[in-house]
Structure 1
Amino acid sequence: MDNQTLLLIDGFNLLSRGYFATSYGKEPEQLTKSSKGVYTNALRIFFQKTFHLISQYKMTHLAVVWDVKKDETTRRLKHDFYKATRSDLPDPLIQQFETCKEVLEGIGIQQISVPAYEADDVIGTLAKKWCKNQYGHCYIYSNDKDLFQLLSSNISQIIGGKKGDSVYSLQHFQDDYCITPEQWIDVKALLGDKSDNIPGCPGIGEKSALPLIQLYGSIEHIYEQMDVLDPRFNRYKNKLIEGKNLAFISKELSAIICQMDELNAFLFDDLQVKILKERVMAEFNELELKMKYA
């Protein structure tokens, strides 16, 4: 399997971005539907992008990775505030999520979700396992910057933007932040994440979090050096001391799990791209999506 290429798609990241990009300012009844009443505005974006990625990057292996329900994750079970501020998803998006899974199964694209784990954990475990076995390069498709902690010489992230996709590599990350990808977890521990309701260290913002980790390497070393903290960070000293417990909880919540026993026996042969072209057209015709798969 040398020189193979794996693509791991953060399924809900892609589907939800497609949904909100095409539903902004619209009521549900204004969204694109098939004649049978099936919403398709996000599905069109999802499949266009998926097929484009396969073609552009010559992917030999592919999986769409899905989250489990937020209330069922290991992080939420341990810390009930985690992602507690997220609002319910709109019904048209939920419907398209179910439809998307059905279509993917029908056309032969593998999907993976593991009970109690988030998509990031599944992606992290599979990406690291793929590279450990030296199969080739792994691309992660997602706009989630949390995944930067997974970057390596053999793992890159494809990020979608208004001007098209860009491949974000280990070198890009090091040039931008001057830390290792693993230290990104410590930056997140200090900053927190409003979207996930991760508290971080209150009072520590972007102007201080990254410089602190660049200098000390980790939050553990920051607290070990608190008595001799660099004078330029004196104004943050009390905030660091007061927020110590939250910072360590935030680091635990921010760290992607890259070793899951549930995937120890996982076989990448099952992810070989074997799309059933005749089924693609049948599924698209059923949804009245005027798209082609070359």
Structure 2
Amino acid sequence: MKDTLLLIDGFNLLSRGYFATAYGKPEDELPRNEQGLLINGVRVFIQKLMRLIADYECTHVVVTWDVKREETTRRQEHAFYKASREELPSPLLEQFETTQAVLTALGIEQLTHPPFEADDIIGTLSYRWTEDARGMCFVYSNDKDLYQLLNETSAQILAQKKQELVYRVEHFVEEFGVTPERWVDIKALLGDKSDNLPGCHGIGPKSALPLIQRYGSVEELYAQIDELDDTLKKHQKKLIAGYEDVLVTKSLAQIQCRIPTLQEVDMDSFLIDLPEELFYEMTAAYGIKAVYPDTLRPRLV
């Protein structure tokens, strides 16, 4: 049986768990454990992590965390990058530290790698896993930036209201009509308000998709900018005016999949080695109720 790697976008899961359980509640109404630590987001995080390990029969797991925005290469080179984002609430930041402590106690591998972002760590590890032909890699995040990492053995688990969707490369091709590596070119034209990426002013989804479907990349699009198809010539002036913004947006949206210092990391250091007794001891110590994955039992006997 082949191995299965689970890559968790840590802040994506923690923040969604926190806001889902804190909505409309003042801080003094949020649950705390016996040590007085807030645990509403932590509890959702650990419960979800264990369910994912069980549901997808994961053998290896890594939780990736972002560094502070000011520490990233993207922000250092472009001050506008993510500049519009608000600061995270202090109860969430407190639970970030608690979540890290719980994961450490459980022996779950965590990675933060300045000046790179969590997406870059996920990109590098997922590519290595694919190249080594280890088996399936599942990325748990609702961040569509990660679509560019999809391939035959790498899928993204998207949280939806009623159930999760395992979004695979064939879903992407059916939805967008291009291969996943072209997602960054689509985003280069569209921009991204959440990351404060400009894209090309006046180019929306109905324009960006046909352009990339026809020309394959923004580089090839601009190489043929004077000879656009008749049906696409109406976008010419906007594209020329937005040239610099498009190139900058693509460079910032491109996930780095070759972080040099992660090329030699032993992928088996991410093997899940979590005895059931330790699991219940540690979760009880933090006031978290969660179920131990059945799939881990046979391997630890």
Q: Does 1:45 align with 2:44?
A: yes
Q: After TM superposition, list the pairs within 5 Å mapping 1:12-91 onto structure 2.
A: 12-91=11-90
Task: Give how far 1:45 is off.
Answer: 1.1
Could you list the runs of 4 or more consecutive aligned residues of structure 1 that deviate by over 3 angstroms after TM superposition? none
Question: Sequence identity of aligned pairs in percent?
Answer: 49
Hey, what's the Cα distance between the residues in 2 that align with 1:143 and 1:190?
21
Does the Cα contact within 8 Å between 2:7 and 2:63 map onto a contact in 1? Answer: yes
Task: Give how far 1:151 is off.
Answer: 0.4
Does the Cα contact within 8 Å between 1:143 and 1:160 map onto a contact in 2? Answer: yes
Task: Give how far 1:286 is off.
Answer: 2.4
Hey, what's the Cα distance between the residues in 2 that align with 1:111 and 1:277?
20
SS at match of 1:195: coil
> In the alignment, what sits opposite 1:216?
215
1:103-162 CA distance string (max 9 Å, x none)? 000011111111100000000001001111111111111111100000001111111111
Task: Give how far 1:23 is off.
Answer: 1.4
Task: Give how far 1:281 is off.
Answer: 1.9
SS at match of 2:194: helix
Task: Give how far 1:236 is off.
Answer: 2.0
SS at match of 2:32: coil
> In the alignment, what sits opposite 1:181?
180
1:73-112 CA distance string (max 9 Å, x none)? 0111111110111111001100110000000000111111
Q: Does 1:259 align with 2:250?
A: no
Higher mean C-alpha deviation, range 88-97 or range 234-243 = 234-243
Hey, what's the Cα distance between the residues in 2 that align with 1:113 and 1:50?
18
Does the Cα contact within 8 Å between 1:107 and 1:277 map onto a contact in 2? Answer: no
Q: After TM superposition, list the pairs within 5 Å mapping 1:42-191 onto structure 2.
A: 42-191=41-190
Hey, what's the Cα distance between the residues in 1 that align with 2:91 and 2:236?
47
In the alignment, structure 2 segments of 5+ residues that lack a partner are: 294-301
1:155-204 CA distance string (max 9 Å, x none)? 11111111121111111111111101111000000011111111111111
> In the alignment, what sits opposite 2:297?
none
Does the Cα contact within 8 Å between 2:11 and 2:65 map onto a contact in 1? Answer: yes
Does the Cα contact within 8 Å between 1:108 and 1:276 map onto a contact in 2? Answer: no
Hey, what's the Cα distance between the residues in 2 that align with 1:134 and 1:289?
36
Aligned residues: 293
Hey, what's the Cα distance between the residues in 2 that align with 1:156 and 1:290?
29
SS at match of 1:55: helix
Q: After TM superposition, list the pairs within 5 Å mapping 1:198-277 onto structure 2.
A: 198-277=197-276
Task: Give how far 1:235 is off.
Answer: 2.9
SS at match of 1:202: coil
Does the Cα contact within 8 Å between 1:151 and 1:181 map onto a contact in 2? Answer: yes
Hey, what's the Cα distance between the residues in 1 that align with 2:222 and 2:98?
49
- Normalised by the size of structure 2, how large is the TM-score? 0.94
Hey, what's the Cα distance between the residues in 1 that align with 2:289 and 2:252?
42
Hey, what's the Cα distance between the residues in 2 that align with 1:199 and 1:142?
23
Task: Give how far 1:37 is off.
Answer: 2.2
Task: Give how far 1:213 is off.
Answer: 0.3
1:29-66 CA distance string (max 9 Å, x none)? 22222243211111111111100011111111111111
Q: Partner amino acid for 1:175? A: E
Hey, what's the Cα distance between the residues in 1 that align with 2:36 and 2:196?
35
